[in-house]
Amino acid sequence: MIPEEVRKLLEKQQYRIIGNHSAVKICHWTKQSLVRNRVCYKQKWYGIQSHRCMEFTPSVIWCTQHCLFCWRIQSGDRGLKWKEYPFPFKGDDPREILEKAIEARKQLLSGFKGNKNVTLKKWEEAIKPTNVAISLSGEPTLYPRLSELIEVAHEMGLKTFLVSNGTLPEAIEKLENLPWQFYITVAAPDKETYLKTCRPLLKDGWERLNKSLEIFSNLDCRRVIRLTLVKGLNLKDPEKYAELILKANPNFVEAKGFMHVGEAQKRLPREAMPRFEDIKEFAEKLAEYSGYKIAGMDLDSVVVLLKK
């Protein structure tokens, strides 16, 4: 179960807990889209709508890694501890948690209805999501009914973005229903950097990630490798990242700068956050080594898109 102190902290941070292990929260870019008509790079590049994207997780405080750059609270932070792996549940009903997540999200958005900068039409659209990002926190492939969840989401007319750290290749292999767009985060060019950056709870995390990249290359869905890059830690060796990218054979690569937000502020200094120029220069080298081409840039999110 979610420890009471952790639950209170998450609720204070505007998470809404769904059932035993899921949660929903309003994305920064959903708010920006509603109030200021500014949209995230996912809308610019992949065609989803920021104000209708639901940020969700079926594994709110459970993960197989303790990444230094992660914004979420991890066991050991703030003196709070719980067992993060293995996942302690058989899994709540997928349809029930999605329906409750949509309702909770509607409640979180209710205050925006009276905002003078938000049109009623856009608010009415926002409370009816068309995309679910299964990425809010934790590792979603821990949820044993993930394939069912994706199937139900598609039945409900929701496009799905699934983001995984790739440490559970066996779970990826078991997915009978694939997401509309599948991300694997690669946050290190080699094993030594991986252990330092991602701090896996599994002894063979690096080997597992590499196996997932091999599986990933054959999946019949849109595939993205995301590089989360931290200055002075893993923002290096583009030629080694290129080898991993070629192994995974994704449709797209996102070279994204670490953001100094949430709990990551307690683990890393602000100077670890790369400038956009740092990411652009790194992406140019990555393109040279991988053969992928730069296809887009977003200064606000400090991210560069590469594609075949």
Q: What are the boundaries of each domain within the chain?
A: 4-226
1-28 CB burial, b ≥16 within 10 A, e <16 = ebeeebbebbeeeebbbbeebbbbbbbe
Please state, in angstroms and rounded to a whole number, the distance separating the CA atoms of residues 170 and 220: 17
* Average per-residue pLDDT for the chain: 98
Give the domain 4-226 fold.
Answer: TIM Barrel (3.20.20)
pLDDT higher than 90, residue 183:
yes
Q: Which residues contact 214 (CB under 8 A, 6 or more apart)?
A: 247, 248
Q: Name the DSSP class of 174.
A: T
Tell me how far apart the alpha carbons of residues 40 and 47 are, in angstroms, rounded to a whole number: 11
What would the pLDDT profile of 50-83 be if each residue is shown by its tens digit? 999 999 999 999 999 999 999 999 999 999 999 9
For tokens 């009415």, what's the residue?
Answer: 124
Instruction: Tell me: cis bond preceding 129? Omega within 30 of 0 counts.
Output: no
* pLDDT tens digits for range 272-284: 999 999 999 999 9
Burial tier of 76 (Cβ tally within 10 Å: 0-12, 13-18, 19+): exposed
User: 262 — alpha (psi -120 to 50), left (phi > 0) or beta?
Assistant: left
Q: What is the CA radius of gyration of the chain?
A: 18
Give the pLDDT confidence score for residue 1 in this predicted structure.
83
